[in-house]
A = this chain, B = another copy of it.
Amino acid sequence: MNNRQLSYLIKSREFYKNELLENIMPFWLEHGLDKTNGGVYTCLNRDGSLMDSTKSVWFQGRYAYVCAYAYNHIEKNPLWLAASKSCIDFIEKHCFDTDGHMFFSVSAEGKPIRKRRYVFSETFAAIGMAEYAKAIGDAPYANKALEIFRNIRRMLSTPGFLEPKSFIPCKGHSTTMILVNVALVLMQVCDDPVLKEQIEESIFEIEHSFLHPEYKCILECVNPDGSLIDTCEGRTINPGHGIETAWFLINAGERLGNRTYVDLGLKIFDWQFDWGWDKEYGGIINFRDCKGLPNQDYSQDMKFWWPQCEAIIASLYAYKVTGDDRYLKIHKEVNEWAIKHLKDQQFGEWFGYLHRDGSVAQPAKGNLFKGPFHIPRMLTEAYLLCNQIISK
């Protein structure tokens, strides 16, 4: 690392911390946190005003996680800890159905609105509780997280519990990859062999089913034997999603001392970045087709906030474990593009939905899918990564 690189990393580290402390965390504490019913609202307009009081169950867990994560690594801010606890209490009071499966959305007061055929509400509740348990050194919350984790595995392995959308059986990358991250978060506070088992199972699946060397990409949905489903949906590459997987694997490799996971993560990052980076306009594009056909998702050529965040994290991880300048160059490119186009200089927080050319498609700060998760997680992760690289 030369001096120019060092000073770039020092400046970046400061930016991430300041952005978290001065912009993102205050925005959601002020506008998102529900002081009446507990939990967090995410459907906020550009200026933070509430557009819709529907509560995303994903975000109760995600915000619980992010607040505790920032508390554990950035600053012992009691407001963050209280916000985390508020979301966890809301989850426990309102977000579980009688069959143990969680809702997808509930009203401001916690009345069920929608339930979906997935376990993402559960994965986010689990990481929220585990990171909170770490913050307060509390075993009961760690046990609750582990119980949710075991329940996820039970739901996924019970035929018919989660009614499939299609008559044609298929396997999804989303659930597989997220469980790597969930297990890693839980490992901090839970000592149970099921967590390492899950990581090994998931990474085996990623390598042998979802990674397709013939297209140099991760596919989101494959046949049960891992082969390509040759439809518009089956050929879909979600570059940002695989980039997120890449840093989950590098992280798993570091934590478990397994170099093959790190190498797999690096390969996935290289391939997915290649599919995702838009050489004409910059930014990570939403979707591609592995055979180069026109992807049929309406938002295929848009640039969403979260793939940019994942690429910022993954490129720093890749630089940290390889020292290869190429990754720092990629990091700089993505980072600059993201800040330039996503950060709202006028009302704070970041935009979520950009056109291909980087112009803002609509300026709301949140909805049921955007809220306080990818951006503050990225700012915290990136701060820590810069720190680790600088201290080496």
List residues of A whose CB falls within 8 A of some B CB: 43, 45-46, 51-54, 111-115, 165-168, 230-232, 293-296, 298-302, 353, 355, 361-364, 367-368
Please, how many angstroms separate the alpha-carbon atoms of A51 and B289 in the complex?
11
Chain B proximity of A179: nearest CB distance (Å)? 26
Residues of B within 8 A of A45 (CB): 293-294
In the complex, the answer to whether B362 meets A301 with C-beta atoms within 8 Å is yes
Residues of B within 8 A of A355 (CB): 355
Chain B proximity of A311: nearest CB distance (Å)? 20
Residues of B within 8 A of A166 (CB): 113-114
Residues of B within 8 A of A51 (CB): 232, 293-294
Return 25 A-B CB contacts under 8 Å, by A number.
Answer: A43-B296, A51-B232, A51-B293, A51-B294, A52-B230, A52-B231, A54-B231, A54-B232, A111-B167, A112-B167, A113-B166, A113-B168, A114-B167, A232-B367, A293-B364, A294-B363, A294-B364, A298-B298, A298-B299, A298-B302, A298-B353, A298-B361, A299-B299, A300-B361, A301-B362
Residues of B within 8 A of A367 (CB): 232, 296
Residues of B within 8 A of A53 (CB): 231
In the complex, the answer to whether B46 meets A362 with C-beta atoms within 8 Å is no
Please, how many angstroms separate the alpha-carbon atoms of A45 and B232 in the complex?
11
In the complex, the answer to whether A167 meets B293 with C-beta atoms within 8 Å is no
Sort A-B residue pairs by CB-CB distance and give the 3 closest, nearest first.
Answer: A298-B299, A294-B362, A52-B231
Contacts A355-B355, A362-B295, A367-B232 hold; do A114 and B300 have CB atoms under 8 A apart? no
In the complex, the answer to whether A296 meets B364 with C-beta atoms within 8 Å is yes
Please, how many angstroms separate the alpha-carbon atoms of A298 and B113 in the complex?
21
Residues of B within 8 A of A115 (CB): 167
Please, how many angstroms separate the alpha-carbon atoms of A115 and B301 in the complex?
28
